[in-house]
A and B are shown apart, each in its own frame.
Chain A
Amino acid sequence: MTYVRLAGVTRVHGEGATAVHALKGVSLELDVGELVAVMGPSGSGKSTLLNLAGGLDRPTSGTVHIGEQDLAGVRDLAALRRRSVGYVFQDLNLITSLTAAENVMLPRELDGVRSGRARQEAMAVLAEVDSADLADRFPEELSGGQRQRIAIARALVGERRLLLADEPTGALDTRTGDEILRILRARCDAGAAVLLVTHEPRYAAWADRVVFLRDGMIADTTDTPLASAR
C-alpha cells in the first residue's frame, strides 16, 4: 500500500537567471513497511526531496500525497506533520534541559495529549527502541548512539507512520550506525514507512530500494524490492 506518493515533483528556488532547480521532475512512491534510501552527492536534491515528502516544503509543480491527502489541499501543514511525520536528523535537536522521556513526550503534548498519556506513549516507544532504561536521563548523560535512539523514539511517538531520516548515522561509528539502521528496519517491518537520506552505501544497503539522485533527477534505482529483505 502506497503511503507517500511524489508525482512529477519539481522545486525551483529563486527566479530568472539565478533560479536553482533543486528537483527536476521526480516521481517516487513509498509503501507502508518499506525502507527507501536516497543517495547522491551534495547538491543533488536529497534534502529537498525529504522536505517535500514530509510537508516541510511545497513543490513548485507536481503533487505530493501522504496517505490519502494531497498536500496542496492541506492548509495547516504543521498539524499534519505533527500527526503523521517523524524526523530524525544528524543534529539530534534533543532539548538538553528535558529528560529522554520528556523529549519523546513533547510532540504529543504539543498536540494536546495530556501528560500522563503522553508519558505512557513515550515509555512504550522507548521500549520499542530498547531504551526504556534511559527514560530519566538527560541528553548529556547519553552516548551518541543512545541519543539517536531517543530521537528515533521521538520521531515515532503517537500514530506517526512516516519517518524521514536525514543522515541519522552522521557522526556515529559503524557499529552504532548499524544499530540505528537495525532499529529503523524493525520499525519498517512493524509497518512504518521510512525515507532515509544517506551518503554511506553501507547504511543505504539496509533499504528495500535505493534511489540515486543526480542534479535533481533520479539517475538509477535498485527498483526491484528484495523479497528476502522483508
Chain B
Amino acid sequence: MSIRHGLLALLSTGSRHGYQLRVEFEASTGATWPLNIGQVYTTLSRLERDGLVEPGESDEQGRVAYTITAAGREELARWFGTPVVQSDRPRDELVIKLAMAVAAGRADVAEVIHKQRTATMRALQRLTTAKRAATDGAAQRLVIDSMIFQAEAEQRWLDHCEAVLKEES
C-alpha cells in the first residue's frame, strides 16, 4: 500500500497538516486501511527528505501544514501514469492448505473446501452489507468492490477445485 503516494495525492489539492491527512486518507478508502498518526508523520518526513513536500510555519497549536512541491507533483503524475505490477503475492495460506490436503491425502479435502466456502461467503455477505451502508461517495464503495471481487475469485476457485477433484476421484 502506497501511503506515500496517497498523501501526495491529497496534498495535490492543497496544503494540509498531518491529522487532516489521516482523516482524509481514511475517508477516501473507507477506513479499510486504518492509518496511525505516527505513520503519517514518518511518511511526511521522508517525503520532505526527498524534496516532494515542504513544511510551512507551525500554527498557534503547533501544527505544521505541508505543501506539495513541483517534484512532488511530478512523482504523483508518474505514479498515476504507471500500472501497478502484479507483484509476487505473499504465500497464500488457503492455497497451501488445499495443495497439502490434496498432495498429502491426509485431510478430507471436500470438508476443507466446504468450510472455506461458507466462511468466504460470510465474508462476502459482510462486505456487501458494508457496501450497502457506504453512502459517502464512490471511492469508498469501489474499495469495498475490490475486496468483493477478490473474495468472489476465491469462491470461484474453490468451486473449481471441487469440480476438478470430483472428476479425478
* Interfacial residues, chain A to chain B (CB-CB below 8 A): 41, 182, 185, 200-202, 204-207, 210, 212, 219-222, 226, 228-229
Residues of A within 8 A of B120 (CB): 201
Interface residues of B in 136-164 (CB under 8 A from A): 148-149, 151-152, 155-156, 159, 163
Asked if A201 contacts B132 (CB within 8 A), the reply is no
Partner of B124, one of A205, A212, A219, A220: A205
Residues of A within 8 A of B149 (CB): 202
On chain B, the number of residues with a Cβ less than 8 Å from chain A's Cβ atoms is 22
* Interfacial residues, chain B to chain A (CB-CB below 8 A): 114-115, 117-118, 120-122, 124-129, 132, 148-149, 151-152, 155-156, 159, 163
Docked pose: A202 CA to B156 CA in angstroms: 10
Partner of B128, one of A205, A219, A220: A205
Residues of A within 8 A of B128 (CB): 202, 205-206
Asked if A185 contacts B124 (CB within 8 A), the reply is no
In the assembled complex, the CB of A130 is this many whole angstroms from the nearest CB of chain B, namely 16
Q: Knowing A201-B155, A202-B124, A205-B148 are in contact, say whether A220-B118 is a contact too (CB < 8 A).
A: yes
Asked if B125 contacts A222 (CB within 8 A), the reply is yes
Residues of B within 8 A of A202 (CB): 124, 128, 148-149, 152
Docked pose: A182 CA to B132 CA in angstroms: 8
Asked if B125 contacts A226 (CB within 8 A), the reply is yes
In the assembled complex, the CB of A139 is this many whole angstroms from the nearest CB of chain B, namely 29
Asked if B117 contacts A220 (CB within 8 A), the reply is yes
Residues of B within 8 A of A200 (CB): 152
In the assembled complex, the CB of B146 is this many whole angstroms from the nearest CB of chain A, namely 12
Q: Knowing A201-B155, A202-B149 are in contact, say whether A226-B124 is a contact too (CB < 8 A).
A: no
Residues of B within 8 A of A212 (CB): 114, 117-118
By CB atoms of chain A within 10 A, which of B115, B128, B148, B152 has the most? B128
Residues of B within 8 A of A229 (CB): 125, 129
Closest to B149 in A: A202
